[in-house]
Structure 1
């Protein structure tokens, strides 16, 4: 691998096998530079995710070896490609290795595909909710970890949303109706964004960024219901937690929304609702005795 930037090669290898049709790489144009990240738009893309996010840097503690990371997005997945100038993977070499976000293992047996200085994989789109507020993504090799910094990713994801909004196809294909569970999670995310903006509740920057990331992940599949759902939520009677107990419940649900995968969060909320209904029915039955 020579000393030229590995980002164009990285992006081309990522987009060709994992995210887009070959040949589109030449049509990418710079949309914005944000916090060290480049957001590019693929003029030839016809789906809802024509933009990619990339970052590269030289490690002065490693002989100025170049590192890079690229994210490309699909409706239900994110393609990630990591580049390190001194890697020498065989083409299509399969690598199974622990994947960490910061210092926590999120997949002890993640599978990556090698090609020279590059490793690439696909992860569920919901994983971005954990990556956006994180400091680094880490691959734990037997001879030591390889880490790739994520500083500035929340701002880059905001730029990505602007890029995708500016790239909506003139005649987008009809979208399928989202699942009830994902609609519940999306509604909770929207309401949580409103509460954070309008009410006196305790939140952290990491939590706010994670909520925005999950809403952004869910938004593409919400196209058929987004406008009427948002309109209906405007009429809810209590926009802020009315008392301390409600505020505590909000904070508990917010933490669960941030920490859990979307489907696990929906299952938890459904379970809570069922328990609440059962308790009310039991109380009513006891009152009739």
Structure 2
């Protein structure tokens, strides 16, 4: 017979002590990453950045990184950037749904306190929703079908992988299957600047590009994507991040341009 174990209050208390560990592991690393960035910005040696005396539980001047430190730092920064993209999308969609509910007050008279309570209540209702739920709700309040939904959901997959798995793709992150292999595919709208010169379209891919008299820059969109295998680390550069941000902008602009005031 397998050995039996009776769970005691002592066991539970011992396990309860680990509650703090998850928080410390994440926030300690964030403190150290910020100290590392500060040391580079201010040209102060990393180990000379003073540690707050009140946080004795944290181990300072040490970064728990996996692999190359530069890559890890990049991923840490881009994780926060992509989190902000998703946060902005959530807020914009929450506001769109909030505004639709506000139209229910049109023509009504109410006390100021009642108005404030109503505003708080509907604000709270939508700010609690996650991205997929907000997408579903928002799809019902625009006059034209939402665009770039697959792109936005794939960016959110990227965010979750960076935030919860340090950018290492696992099966839970995958959203497509190619030749029986599950992969994470990120989709976004790329941008391209070109100019007609000497009868040929030339791409402008560097700063300082000068135009000749009579030339005009042409701006176009590209459907971009990148796939990652399970076990592969996400890599994002600044150009891609800018384009991910731009994709989010196109998405919320479409919502604003096609918002259905009171016609749900």
Higher strand share: 1
Q: Which structure has greater helix proportion?
A: 2
Structure 1 length as normaliser, TM-score? 0.24
Q: Greater relative contact order (Cα 8 A, min sep 6): structure 1 or 2?
A: 2
* TM-score (norm. length: structure 2): 0.25
Larger Cα-atom Rg = 2
